[in-house]
């Protein structure tokens, strides 16, 4: 698939040409390689709908609670971030990174003059849910999916959702690009920090 | 030393009674055990001055750049956070956690109605430096020190510093307690998230 | 499923209400979360039959040697322990813990006045097999199953088995609870020991 | 130093010729290589006195509690086990192995017809302390020291100690050899178990 | 299956009796245990054809590029090496070992008086491809397959292949045995080197 | 210190301006950062003498065997390679990389028309020692030093040494640059290979 691919330190930032609907298979290992030939750690950012069937969900708490709904994670227009790292076989690592990605998303959106709240890996605006997020891993890589609603169309009725446009943010492309690039820069800076730190003896 | 010790999930949150001056030795492994008998991962939060001699600095970039100054990290009144984790022998882990701690500090302070900027592990207000931070590790544990200026007294002249009181925040104790407890809760939530996540196959 | 859930340090000790037959699917990752909503490392202890088909066996040596039998691991009445840890991606870790669990089971049973022998992960009484045990892991967690015969009914004929009741132990509930709680306490104590130990330089 | 060196799987079991007094320096990394040229994981077992000064102690809880005594860990006649493993940079691993060593020591001693109690890494007989033990690690290897009293001579007065001879065990050499060899065999068996186990998917 | 099994340090070197065709299933975890009962890390070396269907290929770049061919990895007569290690859950480890295996193969073949070129994990002679290689891992073990052409029969036409016999090497058995044994000795020497090295403080 | 610094994938290849004498302190963690400000994994290649005192040696076998000599590792003119990686806390990883560096050095030198022999981490020409090498690690990084003799001046008499010039290679600079760059490219290619590999399930 065609995409704009940036080198940001040890990561690739990938902006596919055209929209992609998130269905849950994008969280599979090596999706970025298979789609865009990237052979670095990566963050792929794109816009599109979202429709994750119950059998593709990785958050088993959601599976339990939302089991009555057939397609509990849904939205007609979102921006998506798919992160993949290959560096440490511990699931905790990707959850720490997930929180950093969420904090970066929050800061980026707030720079447009709104105020959000973060609870764990969820973003809210005035108590309404702005995002969905999951982190998980396979044998060789760890993955994050973050989806941020552009508007609230198509969001399941039992979720009180809100989108970026609902809070007055219309430069969706810019938000998307800034979050992706900031995340890659943050990871790069951490790698650099590690390499200037005296350990303790 | 006397301290109030809270159990927050798998961590201890420790508030020592009385002030402690941060000199750099608090970053040493097992300082929390030696001082407060805590035998969990911990965040210790206290108020006091700060005076780190060049030979106790762990950021070797600072050591290079600040080498001309004998006590380059200094302040008369700060709140300090000393974090210690024992769970993964990878230095990167503690740097990821450091970023999360900084994001939590930023959110907490901003909840008082000010706007901060984060660059890596530094917080700024209107371009002035509000905090210092380092992460590092020894053989068995990883540590973070975060210091946030209460005011700008005693900050070396070559640093354009600012303190919480300078930006209108006077309930220092509340800021300090909220940051420490929020960090412990975040780490606890991550542990819980890990244990409800389906891995990828 | 209803269960009594104890907090013992960083672990949950879970005693389900009612009997559960062990079929091999209980060794799957996140079974404790799926059944009992536990989001800590856990040991689940219950009583019930056991019937593991050849295709659900994880010990490939048994699979080879017992391949002629369709249901080689079987018993009508056992106590079962299902352990799950999420902390280190090394399979060896869970095998070390398995040995500790077996030693604790041995000590607990011997405290009722009998003498057992341990060979690796097996317990014997007078040369007769009292237990079955396996450890394994998936991507994000490691698991142990230990089954201890209550009596010898239903044990395949080619195995010379024995049960707790055969050696004069009838307070099965107490044995079961003591083993589970002791294991969790041991793991907790190890976590504490780690956090008071000076490393070597 | 002269020693009998056995190959037991991937480990060396080392019995030095003559007595060695344990002073705390034997816990240092690579002591077994420096003394006996062993280039495998190893357990070295020997007999001799014990005298660990406060500054050589690795259990910082003991350091705190025993700080008033200059030589709090002391005994005139003990059997010692020095274990070194190089395989996983996690301190927890060696604590799990320590518990297994203690369980093996307990079983071995009990096979002489006495009954012991284990609490964490301590062995007791009738409430009297039979052993001392510590686990720790450096950058490249993890170590255990286990000392078991042969008699109670020289044990500090504030410790209620007991020795093997006090409970009727006089074949000290046999106890020592059996514990060391059983430990190495247990570790070997675990390595073998790992290599016949189907993981979970 | 019958095989000659050598103990070389902590590894088994396995030479099966008779030929085996490599189909891709030999790369599965625990194949060596299932076939030859080996319970150590192992290198299995054998001679036979090779025919890997597209769905059994692990190099996804090859899958993309060769997708038009149904059986892109093929040869009528090769020597094969199947390596399995269980010691570190990091995929990078097995790729480092893969390069060492390739270097050993190159040196061994060159000792017969020919000159080869290595590019990553491929060996060439006069620009023609002599070998195929892949490394990968599952949850508990890491694997390498190296196949070296004995002659160029059966190699797909789009690959310019060459075999050992084409470059004047006819003692195929000796090449095969030397590579396998040298690899196991190299791994053993590395284990020994680790255990005589002073770490840095 | 002034140096030419190349970016080769995730590594820096550093060629300092002017000669540097290797004394053993260059193996210390973060030497490349302290000297050249590099904040990536790195290989630094330079020419100069070598004189390592017994107390700075990391190979404890050499320390034992060479203890009678005060400066057992010595040479008047060598090319040196100092490698530093920060990615995995396992000492074995750096030993695997060390072997790859040695293989690359061998191949590079042989491309000038000579034939070398490798034994572990040593290179020989006609039975004479061409190189010295050590790998080790601290808390946060792993290091390699490889020294290759340019000539045999200054080599201790008890070592039968040989230098590149003795075997007809005079373009020392080119050898040095090729080895350093090839090593960085090899590591980069391994990182890329990892990111196109399907794991096993």
pLDDT at D66: 78
Q: At what angle do helices C91-110 and C172-194 cross, to 10 degrees?
A: 130
CB C109 within 8 A of CB C164: yes
Cβ distance B195 to C29 less than 8 Å, yes or no, reads: no
Cβ distance D196 to C59 less than 8 Å, yes or no, reads: yes
Spell out the domain ranges in chain F.
3-194
CA-CA distance, A147 to A82, in Å (whole number)?
9
Confidence of residue C173 (pLDDT cuts 50, 70, 90): very high
- Exposed / middle / buried, residue C134 (Cβ in 10 Å: 0-12, 13-18, 19+): buried
- Of all residues in chain D, the one with the smallest CA distance to F91 is D140
pLDDT at D65 over 80: yes
Residues B41, B43, B44, B50, CA torsion sign: positive
Of E147, C194, D200, C63, nearest in space to B198 by CA: D200
Q: How far is B58 from chain D (nearest CA, A)?
A: 19
Q: How far is C94 from chain A (nearest CA, A)?
A: 15
pLDDT at E188: 98
pLDDT at B190: 98
pLDDT at C1 over 90: no
- Of all residues in chain A, the one with the smallest CA distance to C140 is A91
Mutate to test the interface with A, among F28, F138, F142, F195 (most CBs of A within 10 A): F195
Confidence of residue A69 (pLDDT cuts 50, 70, 90): confident
pLDDT at E49: 97
Q: What is the pLDDT of residues A87-134, one digit of tens each?
A: 989 999 999 999 999 999 999 999 999 999 999 999 999 999 999 999
Of F110, D195, F189, nearest in space to E116 by CA: F110
Percent of chain F with pLDDT over 90: 89
Q: Given CB atoms, is B30 within the 8 Å cutoff of chain D?
A: yes
Secondary structure of chain D in HEC code, one letter for each residue: CCEEEEEECCEEEEEECCCCCECCHHHCCCHHHHHHCCCCEEEEEEEEEEEECHHHCCEHHHHHHHCCCCCCEEEEEEEEEEEEECCCCCHHHHHHHHHHHHHHHHHHHHCCCCCCEEECCEEEECCEECEEEEEEECCCCEEEEEEEECCCCCCCCCCCECCCHHHCCCCHHHHHHHHHHHHHHHHHHHHHHHCCECCCC
CB A184 within 8 A of CB A8: yes
Cβ distance F137 to E196 less than 8 Å, yes or no, reads: no
Cβ distance C90 to E89 less than 8 Å, yes or no, reads: yes
CA-CA distance, F121 to F133, in Å (whole number)?
6
- Exposed / middle / buried, residue D195 (Cβ in 10 Å: 0-12, 13-18, 19+): buried
pLDDT at A25 over 90: yes
Point out the residue among B41, B140, B196 whose CB comes nearest to the CB of C197.
B140
Show the tokens assigned to C194.
């780690």
Q: Which chain A residues touch F198 with a CB distance below 8 Å?
A: 30
Show the tokens assigned to A43.
């963050």
Show the tokens assigned to A188.
């790069």
Q: What is the pLDDT of residues E97-119, one digit of tens each?
A: 999 999 999 999 999 999 999 99
Q: How far is F139 from chain D (nearest CA, A)?
A: 6
pLDDT at D1: 86
pLDDT at A128: 97
- Of all residues in chain B, the one with the smallest CA distance to D63 is B34
pLDDT at C130 over 90: yes
Q: Which chain F residues touch B60 with a CB distance below 8 Å?
A: 30, 33-34
Point out the residue among D60, D91, D136 whose CB comes nearest to the CB of B34.
D60
Per-residue burial over C92-108, b if 16 or more Cβ lie within 10 Å, else e, is bbbbbbbbbbbbbbbbb
Q: How far is F140 from chain D (nearest CA, A)?
A: 9
pLDDT at B142: 98
Q: Which chain C residues touch E33 with a CB distance below 8 Å?
A: 60
Q: What is the pLDDT of residues F122-140, one digit of tens each?
A: 999 999 999 999 999 999 9
The tally of CA atoms less than 13 A away on the side-chain side of residue D22 is 31
Supply the CATH classification number for the domain F3-194: 3.30.930.10
Chains that touch A (3 or more CB pairs under 8 A): B, C, E, F
- Of all residues in chain B, the one with the smallest CA distance to F37 is B61
Q: How far is C97 from chain D (nearest CA, A)?
A: 7
Confidence of residue F161 (pLDDT cuts 50, 70, 90): very high
CB F14 within 8 A of CB F44: yes
- Of all residues in chain E, the one with the smallest CA distance to D42 is E195
pLDDT at A9: 93
Point out the residue among E30, E33, E89 whose CB comes nearest to the CB of C89.
E89
CA-CA distance, D50 to E12, in Å (whole number)?
41
CA-CA distance, C163 to C159, in Å (whole number)?
12
Q: What is the pLDDT of residues E135-159, one digit of tens each?
A: 999 999 999 999 999 999 999 988 8
Which residues have CB under 8 Å from B64's CB, separation 6+? Answer: F34, F37
Beta strands in C30-103 (DSSP E): 41-52, 73-85
Average pLDDT over residues D162-186: 98
Confidence of residue D89 (pLDDT cuts 50, 70, 90): very high
Touching C: A residues 117-176, CB under 8 Å = 136-139
The tally of CA atoms less than 13 A away on the side-chain side of residue B96 is 23
pLDDT at B66: 78
Least confident of B102-116, C127-141, F61-75, F186-200: F61-75
Q: Which chain E residues touch D138 with a CB distance below 8 Å?
A: 199
Q: What is the pLDDT of residues A143-176, one digit of tens each?
A: 999 999 999 999 998 889 999 999 999 999 999 9
CB D190 within 8 A of CB C92: yes
Q: Which chain B residues touch F30 with a CB distance below 8 Å?
A: 60
CA-CA distance, B11 to B150, in Å (whole number)?
26
Point out the residue among F40, F86, F192 whose CB comes nearest to the CB of A39.
F192
Point out the residue among F64, F91, F201 whose CB comes nearest to the CB of D140.
F91
Q: What is the mean pLDDT of chain A?
A: 95
Show the tokens assigned to C82.
């299902």
Q: Given CB atoms, is E93 within the 8 Å cutoff of chain C?
A: no
CB E79 within 8 A of CB E148: yes
Q: How far is E15 from chain F (nearest CA, A)?
A: 24
Q: Given CB atoms, is F69 within the 8 Å cutoff of chain E?
A: no
CA-CA distance, F28 to E57, in Å (whole number)?
43
pLDDT at F1: 86
Mutate to test the interface with A, among F5, F39, F85 (most CBs of A within 10 A): F39
pLDDT at C47 over 90: yes
Q: How far is B140 from chain C (nearest CA, A)?
A: 6
Cβ distance F200 to E95 less than 8 Å, yes or no, reads: no
DSSP state of E198: P
Show the tokens assigned to E185.
């000795």
Point out the residue among D10, D139, D141 whose CB comes nearest to the CB of E10.
D10
ipTM value of the model?
0.96
Widest Cα–Cα separation across chain C: 56
pLDDT at D69: 74
pLDDT at E200 over 90: yes
Point out the residue among A120, A196, A200 whose CB comes nearest to the CB of B193.
A120
CA-CA distance, D189 to E5, in Å (whole number)?
19
Which strands sit side by side in the sheet containing C131-137, from one edge to the other? C3-8, C11-16, C41-52, C73-85, C142-149, C131-137
Cβ distance E140 to D40 less than 8 Å, yes or no, reads: no
pLDDT at C100: 98
pLDDT at A67 over 80: no
Cβ distance E136 to F29 less than 8 Å, yes or no, reads: no
pLDDT at D133 over 80: yes
Show the tokens assigned to E172.
């195929």
Q: What is the mean pLDDT of chain D?
A: 95
Widest Cα–Cα separation across chain A: 56
Chains that touch E (3 or more CB pairs under 8 A): A, C, D, F
SS3 C168: coil
pLDDT at D160: 93
Cβ distance C140 to A139 less than 8 Å, yes or no, reads: no
Cβ distance F137 to E88 less than 8 Å, yes or no, reads: no
Local mean pLDDT, 10-residue blocks, chain B (201 residues): 96 97 96 97 98 91 82 92 96 98 98 97 97 97 98 92 97 98 98 97 84
pLDDT at E67 over 80: no
Beta strands in E2-100 (DSSP E): 3-8, 11-16, 41-52, 73-85
pLDDT at C131: 97
Cβ distance B193 to A135 less than 8 Å, yes or no, reads: yes
Q: Given CB atoms, is B198 within the 8 Å cutoff of chain F?
A: no
Cβ distance C195 to B10 less than 8 Å, yes or no, reads: no
Cβ distance A199 to B97 less than 8 Å, yes or no, reads: no
């Amino acid at each position: 698939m065609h995409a704009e691919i940036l080198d940001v330190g040890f990561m690739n930032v990938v902006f596919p040409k055209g929209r992609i609907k998130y269905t849950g298979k994008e969280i599979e290992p090596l999706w970025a390689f298979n789609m865009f030939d990237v052979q670095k750690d990566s963050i792929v950012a794109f816009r599109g709908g979202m429709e994750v069937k119950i059998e593709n969900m990785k958050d088993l708490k959601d599976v339990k609670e939302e089991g009555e709904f057939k397609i509990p994670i849904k939205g007609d227009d979102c921006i998506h971030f798919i992160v993949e790292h290959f560096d440490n076989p511990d699931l905790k690592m990707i959850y720490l990174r997930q929180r950093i990605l969420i904090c970066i998303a929050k800061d980026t959106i707030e720079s447009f003059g709104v105020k959000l709240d973060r609870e764990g890996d969820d973003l809210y605006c005035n108590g309404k849910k702005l995002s969905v997020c999951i982190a998980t891993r396979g044998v060789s890589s760890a993955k994050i999916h973050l989806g941020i609603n552009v508007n609230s169309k198509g969001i399941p009725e039992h979720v009180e959702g809100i989108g970026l446009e609902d809070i007055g943010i219309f430069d969706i492309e810019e938000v998307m690009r800034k979050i992706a690039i900031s995340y890659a820069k943050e990871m790069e800076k951490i790698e650099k920090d590690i390499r200037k730190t005296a350990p303790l003896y």
